[in-house]
Structure 1
């Protein structure tokens, strides 16, 4: 099933954010909202390929740049925080709903800091399914160079979201066991503390960026199927 792409912009705390909505042929399709990592953008290969795979299953996908990133407004060093990213996600959901593109089912995809933001956003609105990759639970577990941790933008990223996991369900968790930025013990803890239905995939020798092509293919395949089985309504027989 082919998708068309539509540029969408919206306001989040008076910052103009920009993104791309991949729309399948079916009207009122379910939609996945993507949240990228701290230093990334909506043009990450994982998001683009996942958007294409979701389109094959009749699922819309909205990938956007958080404030201070990519083509969106804001100065990264001044506007970046986990709370701000949660607000961006919630405003993205409201924007797609207001345009009438969205069916009743919503999924979230988050990579790295985007995964943490999705977990918290899911506690503030109805989410039917979620996929996270290399998501940190505590800022102190992120292995950044010492000189970066002294910068204001990193100090604003102090968080511990572990107490919020018990409210999360229908989550697929990816992590590489050789991740040198966010230890894969985070993924194990997410799996242990979230509710059913859930699945954990640890990728052997996988790094933080999921640079291994085999790992990327596995991710696209399994994440796409996860969303398909939980977001796409089964058509009645006969």
Structure 2
């Protein structure tokens, strides 16, 4: 089978430019319908688009006929854009710019995008918040180890890790919303969490499940840590996530054609 291709691009933003990589499904799997299934991959606080987790996920999605877009939030990876008024506002603006690009005439799939958001840790929180604030723009979510509340995540902790200053400068406030409890319910959410998550206790996943609307699914991985470093746990999460997006973003006719 032909391997999916990846193309490096730059997405304009209100504060600079967002470096991104687009993974194109191989020609034999690309849909011929009027819409294309597209998954935007949102990394965590100290991560970036080139982490093995996101590279593997993007490739797995492309192998199932879905487009995948990895990008760097401000202060992460190759994104040197200036920050906004707060951490949350900055990342929401980044995500809105990527979504707007995916819906614009510049989109490489050349037709309407049926979009999903794959978010890990803070990226999962931002994915849920964005979907709640802008209903209808995203059709499905998959959240890995996502915090339901951001208070106390250590933005101003002492001692302050050196790598945190680049992704969250000390003078930058957290911003709002900082919890999902009071947000509108978001439908079509897959929630994945490990029981041994050392950074975000798995009861945060329970809160997401309580807040989300149907259809929603909860996958609890016994013994898995925050980063899903165990290969078996990550493989289970990846398979479930790709299957979830495939079922939500591909039309019934396309799904029937692709086993």
Unpaired stretches in structure 1, ≥5 consecutive residues = none
Q: Number of residues paired by the alignment?
A: 236
Is the Cα contact below 8 Å between 2:15 and 2:81 reproduced in 1? Answer: no
Taking the aligned partners of 2:41 and 2:15, their CA distance within structure 1 comes to 20
Is the Cα contact below 8 Å between 1:68 and 1:79 reproduced in 2? Answer: no
More helix by share: 1
Is the Cα contact below 8 Å between 1:67 and 1:80 reproduced in 2? Answer: no
Structure-1-length-normalised TM-score:
0.89
Report the 3-state secondary structure (helix = DSSP H, G, I; strand = E; otherwise coil) of the residue aligned with 1:167.
Answer: coil
Taking the aligned partners of 1:208 and 1:103, their CA distance within structure 2 comes to 34
Cα deviation for residue 80 of structure 1 reads 6.5
Moved more, 97-106 or 46-55: 97-106
Indicate yes or no: 2:120 matched with 1:111: yes
Q: 1:62 to 1:79 in 2, by over 3 A?
A: farther
Taking the aligned partners of 1:68 and 1:37, their CA distance within structure 2 comes to 12
State which of 74, 80, 85 in structure 1 corresponds to 2:81: 74
Cα deviation for residue 153 of structure 1 reads 3.5
Alignment RMSD (CA, Å): 2.6
Match of 1:15 in 2: 16
Indicate yes or no: 2:176 matched with 1:160: no
Unpaired stretches in structure 2, ≥5 consecutive residues = none
Match of 1:132 in 2: 143
Cα deviation for residue 111 of structure 1 reads 0.6
Report the 3-state secondary structure (helix = DSSP H, G, I; strand = E; otherwise coil) of the residue aligned with 1:93.
Answer: helix
Residue deviations 1:20-74, cap 9 Å, x none?
0001132652100011000000012221111111112211000001111111113
- Which ranges of 4 or more aligned residues in structure 1 deviate by more than 6 Å? none
Q: 1:43 to 1:80 in 2, by over 3 A?
A: farther
Taking the aligned partners of 1:182 and 1:11, their CA distance within structure 2 comes to 32
